[in-house]
A and B are shown apart, each in its own frame.
Chain A
Amino acid sequence: MYCLIAAESAIFSIFVVAYLFYTGKSLTGPQPRDVLRVPVFFTICLLSSSLTIHFAVKSLERGKARAFALWWLLTIVLGSLFLAGTAQEWHHLIYEEGLTIQTNLFGTTYYSLVGLHAFHVTVGLLALASVSAFAVLGHVKKEHAGRVEVLSMYWHFVDAVWVVVFIVVYLIGR
């Protein structure tokens, strides 16, 4: 999983470099400062989901199945909230501001970077959901804590990437 994270980091860093390189180079509008709103609430959702998944794994290690299920579900809810936030933001950008991936360089880099991250969140949510399906069937026990831990590493990674994306897109890029 560390290797996968290294590989994924390399992919993301290329997209981040492209974003930074093209910041302010769009020939036509809309520019980021005109249309982007900082998604504080959804960022808090995603980042706190890192905490909840950590608590979930800890509970599983101690053999508390109920607490595990609760924390795990909370993680999924927070992750989904974040995705909904991204969807809402994109809807706003596309239908109200008229910014699509074809509009200008900002659109191209913005949608591919944020989209790549949203794709990773989606994959993570699917994995989380399949674990909870196993949990409902009673197949997730204390001895599986190691495997669940690996998945939680991926989730932490996705959150950490969001911190970078957030800084690049919403702080520097604006």
Chain B
Amino acid sequence: MSAGPIVLRETGTVRAPLVETLHQWVTTVDHKRLGILYIVYALIFLILGGIEATIMRIQLIRPLNDFVSPQVFNRMFTMHGTTMIFFVAMPLVFGFGNYLVPLMIGARDMAFPRLNAFSFWMTAFGGLLLYFSFIGGDGLYGAGNAPDVGWFAYAPLTSQTFSPGHSTDFWTLALLVSGFGSIGTAINLATTIVCMRCPGMTLGKMPLLAWMNLVMSGLVILAVSPLSAAQIMLMVDRYLGGHFFDTQAGGSAVLWMHFFWVFGHPEVYVLVIPAFAFASEIIPVFSRKAIFGYPVMVAATVGIGFISMSVWAHHMFAVGMTSNSNTFFVLSTMAIAVPTGIKIFNWLGTMWGGKILFKVPMLFCIAFLFQFLIAGLTGIMQGAAPFDWQLTASYFVVAHFHYVIVGGILFTIFAAFYYWFPKASGRMYSESLGRLHFWLFVIGFHLTFDFMHVPGVLGMPRRIYTYEPGRGWDIWNVIITIGAFFQAAGILVFLYNLLWSYFHGEIAGSDPWDAWTLEWTTTSPPPGYNFATVPEVQSRRPLWDLKHPEDPDWKYE
């Protein structure tokens, strides 16, 4: 905890000079500061990735548009995908994990604070490396600057022959570097959760958020490592003249697909399990009921973790695998819907009969429930191999995974932002701006991604930079682009809300939501040491026990 001053604002001492403050932030090893750094960093990249998405949507608003060239369009979708997954979603998840896990399990910091800082800076420089390609990707060839091989970078597009210059190298290195950062953070989170819980907090009394972060860390360890290995192989191919993915020397392009999706599919669950975690913390508090079916929830999470390691090839039905392997991956894909469905019923069971408070975090969670259900249903549709053969690489797929990542993951992340903003900043956000953000974003989301299914079914392939008029796609693309602008407006309102509330929001107090987990026992923002005395817990809702000594939870668990 060498992280410098402990809440200057509260003690009323003179503010440290700017250079000193910056120095403290750069050299910090405090889990809360690193969490905030992760989140701010992700927000910056969210804007970049959003700009790229908007450029694509402007290009596609009408047929035969020439807003950007085909080359630029390729770079935009590659950078958009890579940025949003690796430098927005992952850092957001890790940021919240970093900030919340030690607070929720009553620890004073992560298990390895310096590893934590190291991991953050690895991720941060990975992102910078990726974006440096806009300047340095040309190499000597004058060929394309930013990576343009698609976010899953199928071989042989990535070979020297088809990607001269350095753009693909930037992509590879950025992912390798940030991947090591992710593995570091995952090791750290897992160790923290296993070893640093406060007295009395057995595994069965741990908040669901901690449980889900534990499973997520396990998935990161098992999923990101294969990606790193595959990136090393790609570098061997590109720099040392190896033949891993070189079909002309007997190498296999399909092997890259397997390696990528062995990472790629668990990655979805790496992102969505923390989203589940936010929903599992927020929905009970705003329904004024304890979570329904805690043990089943844990079991379902662990089940998802296991099954998610064996579904990767459902991304590859169109490649031409044997019918046995197709069948296996269809079945495992269907199987993963079961624990996910259990979770949705548990959240509904939590809300059932509760006194629901429709605050902004809860609004986002409710929207999440609906949208995630639909995302899951289209997922099952495509999980059936014959249906996938029809729709693969069409806009239907794009609509499906954006439904998962935006409608499911991003919505709960917004909920988490509003829910924990008072804790991190000490001030309340503006409820009316929050609602404005919610409605703008819900409308924009549904305009864009509901209607994106239609051109997909009508046969519009993904990644095309333009299309002929009169195929029945035109009006849908107009609607999709209009929706994108609504979403962009929502994001701007959201960012403005964060900034405005940070300076002018009402003082929140330590427990504005009358919540039950340990992070609300300490001040907002929490001091550098988190808890003056290490708390001791007896149930899953320690703060409820404190507030209601006459009717404590531990009598019933």
With beta carbons under 8 angstroms apart, the residue of A3, A4, A13, A105 that contacts B243 is: A105
Q: How far is the CB of A55 from chain B (nearest CB, A)?
A: 28
Q: How far is the CA of A108 from the CA of B217 in the complex (A)?
A: 32
A104 to B232 alpha-carbon distance, docked (Å):
18
B222, B249, B259, B262 — which one has the most chain A CB atoms within 10 A of its CB?
Answer: B249
Minimum CB–CB distance from B150 to chain A (whole Å) comes to 21
Q: How far is A101 from B251 in the complex, measured between Cα atoms in Å?
A: 13
Inter-chain contacts of B217 with A (CB < 8 A): 3
Within 8 A of B (CB), among A1-60: 3-4, 6-8, 10-15, 18, 21-22, 25-27
B226 touches A105 (CB 8 A): no
Please name all residues of chain B whose beta carbon is closer than 8 Å to the beta carbon of A101 when the two chains form the complex. Answer: 236, 240-242
On whether the beta carbons of A10 and B240 are closer than 8 Å, the reply is no
Contacts of B232 in A (CB 8 A): 112, 116
Q: Please pick, from B228, B229, B230, B250, the residue contacting A22 in the complex, using a CB distance under 8 A.
A: B250
B225 within 8 A of partner (CB): yes
Query: Of B66-74, B76-84, B185-193, B329-337, which stretch is located at the interface?
Result: B185-193
| Min C-beta distance of A25 to chain B, whole Å | 5
Q: Which residue of A lies closest to B223 (CB)?
A: A10
Q: Establish whether residues B244 and A3, one from each chain, have CB atoms under 8 Å apart when the complex forms.
A: no
Q: Mark out the residues of chain B between 213 and 250 whose CB falls within 8 Å of any chain A CB in the assembled complex.
A: 217-218, 221-226, 228-230, 232-233, 236-237, 240-244, 249-250
**Which chain A positions have C-beta within 8 A of B225?**
7-8, 10-11, 14
Contacts A10-B222, A14-B230, A101-B236; is A108 near B187 (CB within 8 Å)? no
Residues of B within 8 A of A15 (CB): 229, 233
A103, chain B: closest CB distance, angstroms:
9
Say which size band chain A's interface belongs to. Answer: 20 to 34
Contact yes or no, B187 A4, CB < 8 A = yes
Which of B218, B240, B251 has a CB less than 8 Å from the CB of A105?
B251
List, in ascending order, chain B residues with CB within 8 A of A104's CB. 243, 249-250
Q: Shortest distance in angstroms between A32's beta carbon and chain B's nearest beta carbon?
A: 14
Provide the bound-state CA to CA distance between A6 and B221, in Å.
Answer: 7
* A150–B17 alpha-carbon span in the complex (Å): 42
B183 at the interface (CB under 8 A from A): yes
Measured as residues with beta carbon below 8 angstroms from the partner, the interface class of chain B is 20 to 34
Q: In the bound complex, what is the Cα–Cα distance between A112 and B233 (angstroms)?
A: 8
Asked if B22 is at the interface (CB within 8 A of a chain A CB), the reply is no
The CA of A108 and the CA of B252, in the complex, are separated in Å by 13
User: Quick one: given A18-B233, A18-B255, A21-B252, are A7 and B240 in contact (CB under 8 Å)?
Assistant: no
B244 partner, pick from A7, A13, A108, beta carbons under 8 A: A108
User: Assuming the A-B contacts A4-B187, A27-B250, are A108 and B236 also in contact, with contact meaning beta carbons closer than 8 angstroms in the complex?
Assistant: yes
> Measured between alpha carbons, how far is A9 from B262 in the docked complex, in Å?
14
* A10 pairs with B221, CB closer than 8 A: yes
Partner of A108, one of B191, B226, B242, B259: B242
Contact A102 B241 (CB under 8 A): yes
Which residues on A sit within 8 Å (CB–CB) of B187?
3-4, 7
A109 on interface, CB distance cutoff 8 Å: yes
List chain A residues, Cβ under 8 A from B228.
Answer: 11
Chain A residues within 8 Å of B251, by CB? 22, 105, 108
Q: Are A7 and B241 in contact, CB atoms less than 8 angstroms apart?
A: no
Q: How far apart are the CA atoms of A13 and B237 in the complex, in Å?
A: 19
Residues of A contacting B241 with CB < 8 Å? 101-102
Complex contacts, B190 vs chain A, CB 8 Å:
3
- How many Å lie between the Cα of A142 and that of B255 in the bound state? 49
- Nearest residue (CB) in A for B252 is A21
Residue of B186, B221, B259 near A14 (CB, 8 A) is B259
Cα(A68)–Cα(B262), bound, Å: 43
From residue 175 to 224 of chain B, which have CB atoms closer than 8 A to chain A? Answer: 183, 186-187, 190-191, 217-218, 221-224
Q: Chain A: which residue is nearest B190 at the CB level?
A: A3
Q: Residues of A contacting B252 with CB < 8 Å?
A: 21-22
Q: Mark B515-548 against chain A: 1 for CB-CB distance below 8 A, else 0.
A: 0000000000000000000000000000000000
Residues of A within 8 A of B249 (CB): 26-27, 104-105
Q: List 26 A-B contacts (CB under 8 A).
A: A3-B186, A3-B191, A3-B221, A6-B221, A7-B183, A7-B221, A7-B222, A10-B221, A10-B229, A11-B225, A12-B229, A14-B259, A18-B255, A21-B252, A21-B255, A22-B244, A25-B250, A101-B240, A104-B249, A105-B243, A105-B244, A108-B237, A108-B242, A108-B244, A112-B242, A116-B232
A residues bordering B, Cβ < 8 Å? 3-4, 6-8, 10-15, 18, 21-22, 25-27, 101-102, 104-105, 107-109, 112, 116
Binding site for A on B (CB under 8 A): 183, 186-187, 190-191, 217-218, 221-226, 228-230, 232-233, 236-237, 240-244, 249-252, 255, 259, 262
8 more CB-based (< 8 A) A-B contacts, given A7-B186, A11-B226, A107-B242: A3-B221, A6-B218, A7-B183, A7-B222, A14-B229, A18-B233, A101-B236, A105-B249
